């Protein structure tokens, strides 16, 4: 009984630790081709609650977004932010090694 409780507690602690980790997403963005334009995407994504960091890679046409623990970025919300910046969301995925159901499009 004690062994079962210990295992259950360990699993619970592990799950909480995973949930507490920052969530990272990788967005493929079409139409992005200069540094000055990148700021608009940063600005729109930074308005999303829980976003802690936005890194734009102009050469790869991808944007990496980090959210604080417990916060998530949905495909729909990411698409809206990219649209508001004047660009087109090509792909959406949660970064490798993180929790969640990545949805490469």
Partner 1 sequence: MAMNSSRRPASLMALVGSLQLMGGTMAQAAPNTFNTALPVAQGQSIWREQLVLRERSDDGPMDREVSVQALGSVLGYGVTSKLAVFGMVPYFFNKDLDVTMPIRPMGRIERDNSGFGDLSLFGRYTLYKKDFTGSTFRVAPVFGLTAPTGDHNDSDRFGELPRPLQVGDGAWDGFGGVVTTYQSLQYQLDGQLLYRENGRHDGFARGDETRFDASLQYRIWPRSMKGVSGTPAFVYALLESNLVHRERDELGSGTDADSGGTQWLLAPGLQYVTRRWIVEGTVQLPVAEDPHGDAIEDDYIVRVGFRRNF
> Which residues lie near partner 1 (CB under 8 A)?
28, 30-44, 47, 55-61, 83-88, 90
Nearer to partner 1, 14 or 39 (CB): 39
Nearer to partner 1, 60 or 69 (CB): 60
Burial (CB count within 10 angstroms: exposed 0-12, middle 13-18, buried 19+), residue 24: buried
Nearer to partner 1, 59 or 97 (CB): 59
Separation between Cα atoms, residue 78 and residue 74, nearest integer Å:
6
Least spacing, CB of residue 40 vs partner 1, in Å: 3
β-strand partners of 28: 62, 91
């Amino acid at each position: 009984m004690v062994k079962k409780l210990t295992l259950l507690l360990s699993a619970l602690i592990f799950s909480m630790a995973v949930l507490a980790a920052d969530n990272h997403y990788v967005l493929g963005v079409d139409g992005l081709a200069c540094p000055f334009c990148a700021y608009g995407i940063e600005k729109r994504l930074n308005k999303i609650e829980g976003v802690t960091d936005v890194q734009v890679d102009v050469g790869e046409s991808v944007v990496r977004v980090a959210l604080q623990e417990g916060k998530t970025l949905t495909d729909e919300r990411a698409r809206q932010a990219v649209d508001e910046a004047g660009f087109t969301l090509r792909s959406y995925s949660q970064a490798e090694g993180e929790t969640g159901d990545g949805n490469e499009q």
